[in-house]
Structure 1
Amino acid sequence: MVDEMIEEAKAALRLRARAARAALDFGERAEAAAAVARHFFHGIALQQSDVVAAYWRIRDEVDCQPILVKLMDDNQTVVLPVVLGADEPLDLRVWEQGASLYESGFGTLAPSELAPKAEPDVVLMPLLGFDKLGTRLGYGGGYYDRTLAKLKKRPKLIGLAYAAQELKRIPREAHDVPLDAVITEAGIRHFGQPA
C-alpha cells in the first residue's frame, strides 16, 4: 500500500517535472547545457584515471554533449549506457576517440557491442526532477537503480538538470540512491561531501 502511494506521488511529480522541462525553449536549453558544462569543469575534480559515465541526450534532457566533447578531448575515459532489456542493468561501454556511435534504443546513441566495458568513478545522470536532499526522480524504469546495485564500488553521482526541474520533495524509497551533486545552469549543489 505504501509503495503504491509512493509510486502515485512519483507519477504526479514526473508529469510536473516533464512539463517544466518541456516549457523551456531551444535557446534556453542550449544556454543551460553550456552553463552546466562550465560548472562541471570548474566545480568537479576529476583524476585522469577516473572513468566518467555520461549519456547521449534524449528528448529535452540537459545535453551533456559539451561535457562529452571536452572529456574526450582531454583523453578522459568515457562510458555510455546501453539498455539491454527492460529488467536489466545498463551496459556501460567505453567510447573511444574516433569510434562511431550506434542507435541503442530510446532515441539514444552508444558505442558498439564490441566496445570494452568499464565501471565508472563518476556518473552523470539525466533526470526528471531533484529535491534539496539530492533525491533523483528518474523516468521510473529503474535502469540506473539496477546498474548502481551491480557495481563493485559506489561512484560519485551527479545529476544534470535545468533549475526548473527542482521539486519541493520527492519520496525516497530504499533502493533510491541519492545524488552527490546536481548541476544546473544556476551552478552546482552538493548533497554530501564537496567535490
Structure 2
Amino acid sequence: MAERAVEEAKAALRREAHAARAALASEDRAEAAKAVAGHFFEAVAYGPDDVIAGYWRIRDELDCQPILVRLMDSGQKVVLPVVQGDEQPLDMRIWEADTPLYEAGFGTLAPSDLAPRAVPDLVLMPLLGFDSEGTRLGYGGGYYDRTLSVLPKRPLLIGLAFAAQELPHIPREPHDIPLDMVVTENGMRAFGTAA
C-alpha cells in the first residue's frame, strides 16, 4: 500500500514539474542551456580519458547540446543513450564527430547500432524534477535506474535542469539512485559524497 502511495505522489509531482518546465519561454530555455553549459565547464571536474554520457533533448528538456558539442570539439569521448526495450537498460553508444545520428524513438536521436559502446564515467541526466537531497524525478520508465544498476562502476551523476524544476521533496524508493550534482542556470549544487 505504501508503494502505491509513493507512486501516486510521484505521478502528481511529475505533472507539477512538467507544467513548470513547459511554462518556460523558448528564449529563456536557450539562455538557460548556455548558462548551464558555462556552469558545467566551470564547476565539474573530469579527466581527458573520461567517457561522458549526454542525452538528446526531447520535448521541453534542458538542451545539453552546448555541453556535448564543446566536449566533442575538445576530443572528449561522448556517448548517447539508446532505449533498447521497456525493461532493458540503456545502450550507451559512442557519438563520434561528423557521424550522423538516427531516430531512436521517443523523439530522440542516437548513433547507429554499429557505433561502438562505452561505459560512462560521468552521466548527464535529463529530469522532470529534483529536490535539495539530490533525488531525481524522471518520467517513471526506470531506464536510468536499470542502466546504473548493471554498469560495472558507478559514474558521477549530474542532473541538468531549469531552476524552476526544483521541488520541495521527492519520495525516494530503494531503487532510486540520487544525483551527485545538479546544474541549473543558477549554478551547480552538489549532494552527498560530491558535496
1:194 is displaced (CA, Å) by 4.0
Is 1:144–2:144 an aligned residue pair? yes
Is 1:6–2:11 an aligned residue pair? no
Aligned length: 195
Match of 1:43 in 2: 43
Aligned equivalents of 1:179, 1:90: Cα separation in 2: 18
Counterpart of 2:91 in structure 1: which amino acid?
A: D
1:99 is displaced (CA, Å) by 0.8
Is 1:163–2:160 an aligned residue pair? no
Aligned equivalents of 1:8, 1:147: Cα separation in 2: 24
* Pairing 1:1-195 to 2, within 5 Å after superposition: 1-194=1-194
1:31 is displaced (CA, Å) by 0.4
Q: 1:147-178 CA deviation, whole Å, 9 max, x = no partner? A: 00010000000000000000000000000000
1:192 is displaced (CA, Å) by 2.5
Q: 1:83-134 CA deviation, whole Å, 9 max, x = no partner? A: 0111111000000111110000000000000000000000000000000000
Q: Moved runs in structure 1, 4+ residues, more than 3 A? A: none
Q: Secondary structure at the match of 1:107?
A: coil
Aligned equivalents of 2:89, 2:145: Cα separation in 1: 8
Counterpart of 2:65 in structure 1: which amino acid?
A: Q
Query: Percent of pairs identical after alignment?
Result: 69
Counterpart of 1:179 in structure 2: which amino acid?
A: L
Aligned equivalents of 1:167, 1:193: Cα separation in 2: 21
Q: Secondary structure at the match of 1:36?
A: helix
Aligned equivalents of 2:179, 2:54: Cα separation in 1: 15
Counterpart of 2:171 in structure 1: which amino acid?
A: P
**Runs of at least 5 residues in structure 1 that lack an aligned partner in the other structure:** none
TM-score scaled by length of structure 2: 0.99
TM-score scaled by length of structure 1: 0.99
Aligned equivalents of 1:93, 1:2: Cα separation in 2: 37
**Runs of at least 5 residues in structure 2 that lack an aligned partner in the other structure:** none
